[in-house]
Structure 1
Amino acid sequence: MSSFRPEPSLRSYGGEAGDTRVARRRATLIDAALDLLAREEAGAVTVRGICAHAGLTPRYFYESFAGVDELVAATYDGVIAEIAEEALAAFAAGGDSREKVAQAVRAVVGVIDTDRRKGRLLFTDTLRSPVVAAKRGESTRLFVQLTTDSAVQAIGVPRGPETTAAAYFQVGGLSRVLASWTEGAVDLDREQLIEVCVRMLLPDGLAGVVPGGD
């Protein structure tokens, strides 16, 4: 049985509405979880550890989450939702297919570069969390679907197994490049990274990256 206990009355206190207080504490817990997960402090990702880092008591943890797994899932989902929303809006605002791809990549890189914790949560291989592992699988499938839809819209490719396979290749490749960049293994500045990723994601992109390519 869940120990989740919402506030019964959500009365205003100090001029702040009850539901606003709950939302603020929930956001604080998610931020604390993001902090600890990004630091790879697996042993600290417990109710006690999260509450200590957030400066809240377990009572306030359980008003929003039934347990640590639910908090970790919500933290990951929040980052993915932010990236998807930013990338889709940027893609839609672009002109031709290259500009659409460039704007979407710029949006994704912007999210993980502005808050490096988010990049580490999404990409770090050493983060041992069954919840994160499952969420990464879900997010890969989501971005494969979004990539397929975008390719159909932007350049008119037909739907089918080959397009799906290409989308998995692109999503997987982009993820590994961003992971390597986040970890410092790829020595490119932000604009150089975006340019390389855009070239690789376009149909004729490899020739633009490989020295001597036509």
Structure 2
Amino acid sequence: MSSAAKAFTRADPDERRQSLIEATARVLARDGAAGVSVRAICAEAGVSPGLLRHYFSGVSEAMAESYRWTGQQIAEALDRAVAAAAPDPRARLLAYVTASFRPPIASSELLASYVGFWSLTHSDARVAAVRAEVYGDFRAGLERLLLDWRPDIADPARAAIALTALIDGLWLELSLGDAPFTAAEAEALAERWMESLAR
């Protein structure tokens, strides 16, 4: 086999699709929603512009799948944090809550991607559906851990909603940089709120 033939290898179709998903997230983080186009995504992925249409119906679907993938990365980081925690229910819940205040979740790049996704939720039904899915999964995981810790909580769904709002606010400030508090202080605030549920 010639060296030229050896150098040429076709990427696995799943790998090509995934590279386009990840390129979409990078373009969104760098250029915002207005800067995302077939040409920009394919240039970032290092492929010809026609390839995106081979894997997605268009930019909207690529954005939605990029959002889903980003949500999966966050879910995996949360799962790792819970797995590394002490086995008691309170420690597992606290690990889930506070993982958002540290990398890889607390990051300016992730925030930039999320701002782009959020900006599309009112104009793109696919992206809005994925947002509902991602946040629904997060709250469901939080609700399960809350019930493991405090099976007597009167309204675990509302507690999960309130705790999610607190987490999101603290995460946003930390990810923007120059927050008026540290990650450790954010963790302490979240822990204090959690403890208020036990009263």
TM-score (norm 1): 0.72
1:145 aligns with 2:154: no
Q: Which runs of 5+ in 1 are unaligned?
A: 1-12, 208-214
Q: Which residue of 1 aligns with 2:34?
A: 43
Q: Distance in 1 between matches of 2:25 and 2:32?
A: 11
Q: RMSD of the TM alignment (CA)?
A: 3.1
Give the Å deviation of 1:127: 5.1
Q: Verify the 8 A CA contact 1:97 1:154 in the aligned structure 2.
A: yes
1:150 offset after TM fit, Å?
0.9
Q: How many residues align?
A: 189
Decide which of 52, 55, 58 is 2:46's aligned counterpart. Answer: 55
Deviation at 1:33, TM superposition (A): 1.2
- Closer, same or farther in 2 for the Cα pair 1:171/1:204, shift >3 Å? same
For the 8 Å contact 1:22–1:63, the answer to whether it is kept is: no
In 2, distance between residues paired with 1:57 and 1:66? 16
**Which residue of 147, 151, 157 corresponds with 2:152?**
157
Give the number of the structure with larger relative contact order, counting CA–CA contacts within 8 Å between residues 6 or more apart.
2
Is the 2:43–2:49 Cα contact (8 Å) retained in structure 1?
no
The answer for the alignment partner of 2:160 in structure 1 is 167
Match of 2:190 in 1: 197
**Cα gap change, 1:176/1:125 in structure 2, threshold over 3 Å: closer, same or farther?**
farther
Q: Does 1:135 align with 2:126?
A: no
Letter of the structure 2 residue corresponding to residue 157 of structure 1: D
Gaps of 5+ in 2: none
Q: Is the 8 A contact 2:99 2:105 kept in 1?
A: no
Q: TM-score, normalised by structure 2?
A: 0.76
The CA deviation at 1:77 is: 0.9
State how far apart, in whole Å, the 1-side matches of 2:22 and 2:147 are: 36
- Aligned partners of 1:102 and 1:195 also within 8 Å: no
Aligned partner of 2:109 among 101, 117, 120: 117
Q: Which runs of 4+ in 1 moved over 4 A?
A: 15-18
Displacement of 1:171: 1.0
Q: Distance in 2 between matches of 1:176 and 1:125?
A: 17
